[in-house]
């Protein structure tokens, strides 16, 4: 299908047409023309939208499906539908399945199941066997089979020696480690951010120290071993300060933030809505502002959806019994835009495009004539409203149903494949 994108503002600071409003003609999956005005000829799909923008295709470094083992929460196919609707031409899938993504067979299963889809998939193998934080998994075999990095997802590597060996081994196989920071001996039993709201509603708090202490330990190990470390979802001001200092000292560390943590603070939990129960938790207003500032100044490298589907049986419970997580692929961009505002659209796009691709060692797709089309189309003027009808996930654990959010994803183009909302 040939596609003509009309009067779109190009947001791509690596391209000469950055911030220019242009027409883009795509034929056979390639960008054939970029001009001020192009007249449609023959059989061509014309895309015209209010406030239309186009960037290189977005990539999300942190998602999960439940396939295999928990397909009732999310299958690979529904995950990819969510990603496409959310504007992502590529996603990384972490371990949230049974058996775990801890050997080459499981990586190959995921690679083969997602071939030739509109959304590219990059598997993230586990650091340890079964993703339980103990014995190291076979990183070399998984890397050869297509794993782009190694992570135990939300399971913290408690043993310092295990993380030390993982950093050394991952460097030897030309990869890197992604590790969640949460000292469970401090956060144990916590339900939300430790602060005034937790005290007011009587829930046990999760101190910021639980994240910060583990982060400091991990950075110290990185300084000793070398290698490359990515912190997927930071949530506190002190964590930002630690990462800033580590970068200034030359450590090869990058950081991400869940887009919902850029928008909301812990005050939204006053009504005990379990869809706001997250890991890391929603923090204080001071932390939220620090996260926003860190995206603006480049200390935080990527914004992720942290899409974690949970079925009704896991969420429709008393708050302390409910599981963590929210579906967010279809609302990730709008959360970021609501939190950071339109003035920071360049930083938002960078966190969805060039920065995550750089972390993974992937080439950024240029928006230039002759290049393969890998594009995300979106509007800053329109709004997104997630409804039962538009939700592509098998799960419904989102706090944003029937709520208006700024910005709207129009669609994606990935070579000869495309998806439009």
Exactly one of 81, 152, 287, 306 is catalytic; name it: 306
281: alpha, beta or left? (left if phi > 0; alpha if psi -120 to 50):
beta
Three-state secondary structure string covering 236-303: CHHHHHHHHHHHHCCCCEEEEEEHHHHHCCHHHHHHCCHHHCCCCCCCCHHHHHHHHHHHHCCCCCEE
- Give phi and psi for 216, each to the nearest 5: -60, -40
Distance CA 291, CA 237 (A): 7
The token pair at 47 is 């895309």
Nearest to 277 by CA among 287, 286, 266, 288: 266
Query: At 142, which helix (H) or strand (E)?
Result: helix 139-145
CB-count exposure of residue 91 (10 Å: 0-12, 13-18, 19+): buried
Distance CA 311, CA 389 (A): 17
380: alpha, beta or left? (left if phi > 0; alpha if psi -120 to 50):
alpha
Measure CA 205 to chain center. Answer: 25
306 is catalytic: yes
The token pair at 370 is 């002759």
Residues annotated as catalytic (active site), given as ranges: 306
């Amino acid at each position: 299908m040939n596609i003509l994108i009309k009067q779109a503002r190009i947001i791509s600071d690596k391209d000469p047409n950055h911030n220019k409003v242009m027409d883009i003609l795509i034929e056979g999956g390639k960008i054939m023309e970029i001009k001020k005005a192009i007249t449609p000829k023959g059989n061509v799909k014309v895309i015209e939208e209010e406030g239309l923008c186009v960037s290189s295709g977005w990539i999300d470094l942190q998602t999960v499906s439940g396939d295999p083992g928990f397909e009732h929460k999310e299958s690979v196919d529904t995950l990819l539908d969510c990603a496409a609707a959310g504007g992502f031409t590529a996603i990384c899938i972490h371990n949230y399945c049974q058996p775990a993504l801890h050997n080459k067979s499981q990586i190959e299963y995921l690679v083969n199941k997602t071939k030739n889809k509109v959304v590219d998939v990059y598997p993230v193998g586990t650091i340890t066997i079964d993703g339980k934080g103990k014995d190291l998994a076979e990183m070399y075999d998984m890397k050869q089979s297509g794993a782009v990095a190694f992570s135990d997802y939300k399971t913290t590597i408690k043993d310092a020696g295990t993380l030390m060996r993982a950093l050394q081994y991952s460097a030897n196989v030309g990869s890197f480690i992604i590790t969640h920071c949460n000292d469970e001996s401090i956060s144990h039993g916590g339900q939300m951010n430790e602060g005034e709201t937790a005290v007011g509603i009587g829930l046990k708090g999760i101190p910021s120290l639980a994240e910060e202490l583990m982060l400091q330990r991990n950075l110290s190990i990185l300084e000793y071993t070398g290698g490359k470390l990515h912190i997927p979802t930071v949530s506190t001001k002190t964590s930002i300060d630690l990462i800033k200092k580590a970068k200034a000292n030359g450590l090869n560390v990058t950081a991400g933030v869940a887009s919902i943590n850029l928008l909301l603070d812990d005050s939204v939990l006053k009504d005990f809505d379990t869809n706001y129960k997250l890991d890391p938790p929603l923090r204080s207003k001071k932390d939220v502002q620090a996260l926003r500032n860190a995206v603006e100044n480049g200390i935080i490298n990527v914004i992720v959806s942290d899409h974690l589907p949970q079925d009704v049986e896991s969420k429709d419970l008393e708050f302390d019994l409910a599981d963590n997580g929210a579906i967010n692929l279809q609302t990730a961009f709008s959360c970021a835009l609501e939190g950071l505002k339109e003035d920071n659209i360049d930083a938002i796009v960078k966190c969805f495009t060039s920065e995550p691709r750089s972390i993974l060692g992937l080439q950024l797709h240029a928006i230039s004539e002759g290049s393969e089309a890998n594009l995300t189309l979106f509007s800053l003027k329109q709004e997104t409203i997630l409804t039962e009808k538009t939700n592509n996930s098998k799960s419904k654990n989102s706090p944003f149903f029937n709520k208006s959010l700024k910005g709207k994803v129009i669609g994606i183009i990935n070579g000869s494949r495309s998806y439009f909302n």
